[in-house]
Amino acid sequence: MAKRDRLSGNEAVAIALRQINPDVFPAFPITPSTEIPQYFASFVANGQVDTEFIPVESEHSSMSAAIGASAAGARSLTATSSCGLAYMWEELYIAASNRLPLALALVNRALSGPININCDHSDSMGARDAGWIQIYAENNQEAYDNMVQAYRISEHKDVRLPIMICQDGFITSHAVENIELLDDEEVKNFVGEYNPENYLLNPECPMAVGPYSITDYYMEAKRNQAEGMSNVSRVVLDVAKEFEGISGRKYGLFEEYCMEDAERAVVMIGSAAGTTKDAIDRLRAQGEKVGLIKIRLFRPFPAEEIAEALKNVKAVAIMDRAESYTNHGGPLGADVMAAMFRARSQALAVNYVYGLGGRDVRVEDMESVFEDLKKIVKDNDAGETYRYLGIRE
């Protein structure tokens, strides 16, 4: 039976991992993800899991060990943030190219420099093309639920790709909220046992992992990865439907909030969606037709589905908590605008960079974005499409 508890996002993810009871967890600490392996280490010490917990000497080593364990046939994972993810860069591509269904609990934090330990999405956005599935949470409940669903997605026979479960550093990782936990047995039954088809320690099927790929085969290997990624959206929806059956909580590729008749909309990722919902509630009370699309699955990007959700909108603001330094916006803006272009959308679109390095995002800030969209609709002109929110110019 489900029970309510007050937990931080890091605690919630650690509890989900205790319930999953993975085989191997190599870890190296980095703020603000340190608490995840810290809590989990106590579960190991208390005999609540039989996971092999391995303290290693760096984040590069933690991902390397997770890759080795996964290749050997174990269910493995690690956790990190920011520069820790950057230190894993080489290994991220290796995990994906070897089609290893391991997990990474990523607590989003700004990449240096300048040195900053607070939230933005520059770390995971930098890894967006590494071949990993990326799922993001708005709040602690979603961080827990996403982790419970992670292995069912990544280990699916049509996918077999590594998965990154992301939440916002400090904003959700350390803030305490009321959440609902599933019963241990429910999670165990939902996730199930890991039965890899091919693995290094299988004496019946000798194999190599990560061999040198000459020109004749490299492109086919990458096309093979892309084929697995093309199946992810379907599997995410199938797993979410089954998860709803045991939890009562509904998930999709993204969430639509007040989009039924919305003429102006915001598209964004992460915890600031909660702030945006409050702004929408205020404006709806004043008769304003505004709405939100909150991205859950960012990689692979659900382009057609998002374009369909925006088809009746007159103006849209795409919010990026990361800079791409393209001189015309951020990574989410590029993907959403491309999706709208392909769908021949008539909506006027602007891209905001916001919240970098943990810069606070208030309800009033999001109300100002909707006010900007109102002017865009009135003038029938998007104006400057690459903007910063809450910046001292």
State residue 2's pLDDT score: 75
Is residue 70's pLDDT more than 70?
Answer: yes
C-alpha torsion sign, points 133, 230, 301, 87: positive
CA pair distance 393, 375, nearest whole angstrom? 22
Residue in 133, 73, 131 with CA at minimum distance from that of residue 106: 133
DSSP H helical ranges for the chain: 9-20, 35-45, 59-71, 82-87, 89-97, 122-126, 140-154, 184-191, 215-230, 232-247, 272-285, 303-309, 331-342, 363-379
Contacts of 157 (CB under 8 A, 6+ apart): 197
Going by pLDDT thresholds of 50, 70 and 90, the confidence category of residue 1 is low
Q: Homologous superfamily of 3-247 in CATH?
A: Thiamin diphosphate (ThDP)-binding fold, Pyr/PP domains (3.40.50.970)
Give the fold, CATH level 3, of 254-388. Rossmann fold (3.40.50)
State residue 214's pLDDT score: 92
State residue 207's pLDDT score: 87
Contact 150, 103 (CB under 8 A): yes
State residue 393's pLDDT score: 84
User: Average pLDDT, whole number, for the chain?
Assistant: 97
CA pair distance 165, 204, nearest whole angstrom? 34
Neighbouring-strand partners of residue 77:
103
Residues 150-158 have a mean pLDDT of 98
* 254 vs 203 pLDDT, higher one: 254
Residues 107-126 have a mean pLDDT of 97
State residue 211's pLDDT score: 85
Contact 313, 350 (CB under 8 A): no
Q: What is the pLDDT of residues 197-207, one digit of tens each?
A: 889 999 888 88
Structure tokens at 351: 């891209």
Q: What is the pLDDT of residues 278-318, one digit of tens each?
A: 999 999 999 999 999 999 999 999 999 999 999 999 999 99
Residues 75-81 have a mean pLDDT of 98
Confirm whether 3-247 and 254-388 share one CATH topology.
yes
Contact 251, 303 (CB under 8 A): no
State residue 369's pLDDT score: 98
Instruction: Kindly list the domain boundaries of the chain, sorted by start residue.
Output: 3-247, 254-388
Q: What is the pLDDT of residues 318-342, one digit of tens each?
A: 999 999 999 999 999 999 999 999 9
Contact 315, 254 (CB under 8 A): no
Structure tokens at 38: 């810290």
